[in-house]
Copies of this chain bind each other. A is one copy, B any other.
Amino acid sequence: MPQQRRAQATRRAIVVAAAEEFEDAGYDGTPLSAILRRSGATKGAFYFHFSSKEALAVTLVRLQGRHWPRLRQRWLRRRLDPLSIAVGMADEASRLLENDVVIRAGTRLARHRIGRNLAAHRAAAEWEQVLTELLQRSAEHGLLRAGVNPVEVARVIHAAMVGVRVVGADVSPGPGVGARAAEVWQVILQGIATAEWLRSNRFLRTVHLP
């Protein structure tokens, strides 16, 4: 059905154009006309897909919200040790935020605009929970040094991953979000992983996996 495919392409163009405009000028600073201009869609096409700019923003929030549980599930199913899964999972999330404007805009809207911040709070709690479980399993598997508190480490990694998103956009020129996320692992793993785990260098092979 070429007509349906064309409609989907238009919808996608509107979503991407909105994400780019919101990023440049902010949600409040973006008139509908700018989204239409950038996407090449007509007003009629816009209202065929979305009832308002707000509805489009809710869609962006929903798109990113669906993404994270899938990404985590994919990593949790991999046959890797739990520390490598934690590294790979967080690394992929950071690279996605750096490279995908739709995910990035949706994440920002979830925090600052839509749904009174509830989506952002839930997402943060879920990331912290998954990282905590993986670090606890890492401790049980003997991958962490004696005396390392896996719950504390999970909280620190989570905070650092959230921070690289904010700082990576703030402080430029400088490393981007993905490169800063890799630095987080390099610095933190030195202090928490066993010499054996570090020697095997599994994290270097895990980071940057597609």
Contacts and interface: CB of A to CB of B under 8 A. Distances in A.
Contact of A155 (B120, B121, B183): B183
B152 A163 contact: no
Given A171-B121, A191-B187, A159 B160 contact: yes
A151 to B, nearest CB: 9
Which among A117, A180, A188 has the highest number of chain B CB atoms within 10 Å? A188
A163 B159 CA distance: 4
B124 A186 contact: no
Interface residues of A, number: 36
Interface in A132-151: 148
A161 interface: yes
Given A121-B170, A171-B121, A192-B190, A158 B152 contact: no
A153 B190 CA distance: 11
A175 B164 CA distance: 20
B184 A156 contact: yes
Oligomeric state, in copies: 2
A20 interface: no
B112 A167 contact: no
A146 to B, nearest CB: 11
Contacts of A164: 159, 163
B167 A166 contact: no
Contact of A167 (B162, B191, B192): B162
A30 B182 CA distance: 40
Contacts of A174: 128, 155
A133 to B, nearest CB: 15
Given A153-B187, A155-B175, 14 more contacts: A121-B170, A124-B170, A128-B171, A128-B174, A155-B180, A156-B160, A159-B164, A159-B166, A160-B163, A161-B163, A162-B163, A187-B192, A190-B191, A191-B191
13 contacts: A112-B112, A117-B170, A124-B170, A128-B167, A152-B183, A155-B180, A158-B163, A158-B167, A159-B163, A159-B164, A162-B163, A187-B188, A187-B191
